[in-house]
Structure 1
Amino acid sequence: MTYAFCMPLFNHNKSMLRLGVIALAGVLLAGCASMPAGQRSALAEWKPSPNHALRKPSIIVLHYTVEDTLDGSHDILSDPKRKHPVSSHYLLDRDGRLLQLVPDHLAAWHAGVGNWGAMRDLNQTSIGIEIVNTGSEPFPDAQIDALIALLGDLTTRHDIPRSQVIGHADLAPGRKIDPGQFFPWKKLADAGFGIWPQGELIDPPPGFDPWMALRVIGYRIDNPRAALHSFRLRFRGIDDGDRGTEKSASNIAQENAQALPALQPEDLRILYALTRQQ
């Protein structure tokens, strides 16, 4: 009698256990779908993109969209059927509206080939922010104010050094020029983000090596013209048109054996100031 009574009770308990496990799994899956706590910004509306992979962020990369609208940019950044799918973690409109497309702890496909200092696979180490801008217009104050707020949020939550905010052109000289010559890097620096020369700019001493200075800052210098172009875009707001082109290693070596591009006095002063701040 006791044995006959206990068997159904045991089976009932197993059924309840299964239901509990299923319910718990559902909660966990729902949590994954809505993103783990601390992996998204409370400042942004969550509109996910499937184009991502897992990693830990340690630097932030800024882009402009070229596409003129938020919706058009979102369509591009969340289309898995493109030949080369692209995405970013955040998409920032001109009026300050902010969308999050990919969780912070996953790798969005925004950086492509390039490096910054010792960092090589920037998709795996960075948070990407796409800013709605055609590349030929100023950035509205509302947009930059929202960006500064987002940078404060990201650097705090992920313990990213505030200096580790760069542009796409910085990591991919000769291949990319965004966020372009109109981006207000000094305004970001005044808010404490990125690097910017501080104090009075003075001429460097004899023997100062500007190409080594570019390398110390983080630029790759295997294509000096491209590195100088990206440097001027960021620190002088100048697009001199001499981007260099992506060349084979042998072509670059041949060009480097010839005369290096000439640096202007302002280039040298800025480089000297930046290296003294390292």
Structure 2
Amino acid sequence: MNFRTRLLTLAAAVFLAACATPTPQIDRTHVSENQDSRVQFLILHYTAIDFDKSLKVLTTGGKVSAHYLVNDNPVKTYQLVDENRRAWHAGASYWAGATNLNSASIGIEIVNPGFTETPAGRVYAGYPQSQVDEVIRLVRQIVQRHQIRPDRILGHNDIAPGRKQDPGPAFPWKQLADAGLIPWPDPSLLEVRRAVFQIVPLPDVPWFQQKLAQVGYQTPQTGVMDAATREVISTFQMKYRPTNASGEMDAETAALLDVVTTPGGMITRLPVPGTPDTRTDTQTNGRPDNRSPY
């Protein structure tokens, strides 16, 4: 028997042995009621680049991806990663003790140019209302599928303050609150707390750091007003007081923090009549992603 014949004989033997290996017989008639979705968070981003570049980066060799991409003109949603697979959109991340949020989240990238540095300071681009409506419809569907808690619908900046700014202060979080998707500070309680903090001494740095950590942010507990603490304050302000996200401690920010961390201070409203609650005229195009996390 020559070498070639021996090699073919060996290969055939290996193949037959593999075929003879028994497979597990799985009975799927019993389903546990003790389970839920692996998806616990929903993270919103802006792309900072146009649609064509966004699509290329998110679907090719950029080592970054998202489950969905929402274009601005024309408004259209693209599914790039199946919801059952992990997309690489969050990076180094933290919220309320949870880390590595890629493994437990769905990411939505929104086409938006982000910010421009000007002599007057950083200017963020706005979002067309039709695009915001589409995002609200998409968020509502995802939340219904996975029963994501309202307080776990977050921005990229929330889970990576300082490192990320998206979706930025121009993103209308209040509209998501009006749609009943996220909690929002009780306006009547906020009015009372705002009046109090206008007359009492401003809380010290440790108070701000402790309150921000209580909200969920990864916040230094140094007792000093360092750069990282400013970034977290600015991120908090971008959501709840977007007209002034200076990162400075002030009475209004203190009032907001006090309300947000007060039991019952955050309310989830019934949707305001007219807010989008179903997705229409939207096509999706599923495409799995197999690149390394960033």
What's the RMSD between the two structures over aligned residues? 2.2
Q: Bigger CA drift: 155-164 or 125-134?
A: 155-164
**Counterpart Cα distance in 1 of 2:46 and 2:185:** 23
Structure 1 length normalisation: TM-score?
A: 0.68
Indicate whether 1:148 and 2:142 are aligned: no
Alignment partner, residue 115 of structure 1: 94
Q: Which amino acid aligns with 2:219?
A: I
Q: How many residues align?
A: 202
Q: Residue 81 of structure 2: which of 86, 102, 109 is its match?
A: 102
Per the alignment, in what secondary structure is the counterpart of residue 160 of structure 1? coil
1:60 paired to 2:46? no
1:91 Cα deviation (Å)? Answer: 0.2
Could you tell me which residue of structure 1 aligns to residue 259 of structure 2?
Answer: 273
Tell me the distance in 2 between the aligned counterparts of 1:195 and 1:89. Answer: 24
CA distance in 2: counterparts of 1:228 and 1:238, whole angstroms: 14
Corresponding residue SS for 1:146 = helix
Conservation of the 8 A alpha-carbon contact between 2:235 and 2:245: no
Quote the Cα distance in structure 1 between the aligned partners of 2:245 and 2:233. Answer: 10
CA distance in 2 between partners of 1:160 and 1:228 (Å): 25
29, 36, 56: which one pairs with 1:75? 56
Q: In 2, distance between residues paired with 1:127 and 1:194?
A: 16
Instruction: Find the aligned partners of 1:142 and 1:198 in 2 and give their Cα distance.
Output: 27
SS at match of 1:61: strand
Q: What is the CA–CA distance in structure 1 between the aligned matches of 2:75 and 2:211, rounded to whole Å? A: 36
Q: Deviations over 1:222-244 (max 9, x none)?
A: 231121111111211146566xx
1:226 aligns with 2:231: yes
Distance in 2 (CA, whole Å) between partners of 1:107 and 1:194 is: 23
TM-score normalised according to structure 2 size = 0.64
CA distance in 2, matches of 1:239, 1:183: 14
CA distance in 1, matches of 2:75, 2:97: 33
Q: Which moved more, 1:185-194 or 1:202-211?
A: 202-211
The 10-residue stretch of structure 1 (134-143 or 170-179) with the greater mean CA deviation from structure 2 = 134-143
Residue pair 2:234, 2:245 contacting (<8 A) in 1 also: yes
Offset of residue 162 of structure 1: 2.5
Q: In structure 2, how many angstroms separate the alpha carbons of the residues matched to 1:211 and 1:236?
A: 18
Q: Which of 241, 260, 270 is the equivalent residue of 1:236?
A: 241
Unaligned runs of 5+ in 1: 1-17, 19-54, 243-261
Q: Which residue of 2 aligns with 1:37?
A: none
Q: Do 2:83 and 2:106's aligned partners in 1 also have CA atoms closer than 8 Å? A: yes
For structure 2, list consecutive stretches of 5 or more residues without a partner in the other structure. Answer: 1-18, 20-36, 115-123, 221-227, 267-294
